[in-house]
Amino acid sequence: MARLQPYRVDSLRGDEAGLLTGYYEPVIEASRIATDGFQVPLYQPPATLGKRKPWYTRQEIDTLEEAKASLKGREIAFLADPVAALNLQIQGSGRLLVTETSGERRMVRLAFAGSNDQPYRSVGRWLLDQGAIRDGSWPSIKSWIAQNPSRVNEMLWSNPRVVFFREQPLPEAEAAFGPKGAQGVPLTPGRSIAVDPLSIPYGTPVWLVSAGPQTSLQKLVIAQDTGSAITGAVRADYFTGWGAQAAELAGRLKQPLRVWVLWPR
């Protein structure tokens, strides 16, 4: 109170209310090599990524031989579920419990290393527009998938954006924190948010107020990350952590938001 002055953040249209969503770090079983149960690859950036902009779409990566050839040998690991792979790409990072070729199991972290520069399209929005679900939460999406397994590729291909990763070790000291955000520092569950850096600079202390069916928040957080879907001044993505509880909250969190930035007096 002695050193900082709060300023309410409004949109360019003068609205003080915006939107809060959540994101988390998935923890997923994986195999270092393709097996009968693990067929969905996660890739490092292809060598031709900078030579073709935008790069191939998600559907083209799955179907075109030239796209497949560009990614051959760039596989980091293989997942069992293509929807889990999509979710990992949406979150931008995650933890893999990898079974190595030796049979050893170890935890590693995948960090964002680039994208195909295609636009992000929400699969939840795609399903809503068809009247297939009533809300765009991950639980609703998963319920639709269970009832429509033959249409999963159609849903996946509605989002042309693909994210590429780099593998990082996960020592015990780093396992208590999230991945590094766009600011370059590890994210802290419940204290880090993703913002639009054109509106709120990285490192800014933010007083966040949001009340809804999932949680009620009145707390100090720090702007440390961003995302392709986080645009506008009164917009934030709340980092919930990792594991099942964090996934449940992040998957359902979509409620009104007000924010104040705290600047030195």
Q: What is the pTM of this model?
A: 0.79
Give the pLDDT confidence score for residue 229 in this predicted structure: 84
| Nearest in space to 53 (alpha carbons), one of 111, 119, 123 | 119
Q: Which residues of the chain have pLDDT under 70?
A: none
| Nearest in space to 126 (alpha carbons), one of 150, 93, 160 | 160
226 in any annotated domain: yes
SS3 assignment, position 9: coil
What would the two tokens of residue 117 be?
A: 């520069």
Boundaries of domain holding 172: 4-121+159-264
Give the pLDDT confidence score for residue 228 in this predicted structure: 80
Give the pLDDT confidence score for residue 38 in this predicted structure: 97
79 in any annotated domain: yes
When divided into structural domains, the chain yields a total of 1
DSSP code string of 234-265: SEEEEEEEESHHHHHHHHH-EEEEEEEEEEE-
Which residues partner with 260 through β-bridges? 8, 207
Q: Exposed (0-12), middle (13-18) or buried (19+): which is 26, by Cβ within 10 Å?
A: buried
39 in any annotated domain: yes
151 in any annotated domain: no
259 in any annotated domain: yes
203 in any annotated domain: yes
Q: Exposed (0-12), middle (13-18) or buried (19+): which is 33, by Cβ within 10 Å?
A: exposed
135 in any annotated domain: no
Q: What is the pLDDT of residues 6-45, one digit of tens each?
A: 999 999 999 999 999 999 999 999 999 999 999 999 999 9
Give the pLDDT confidence score for residue 135 in this predicted structure: 85
139 in any annotated domain: no
* Cα angle, residue 96 at apex, residues 100 and 197 outer, rounded to 5°: 145
Residue 207: CATH number of its domain? 2.40.240.50
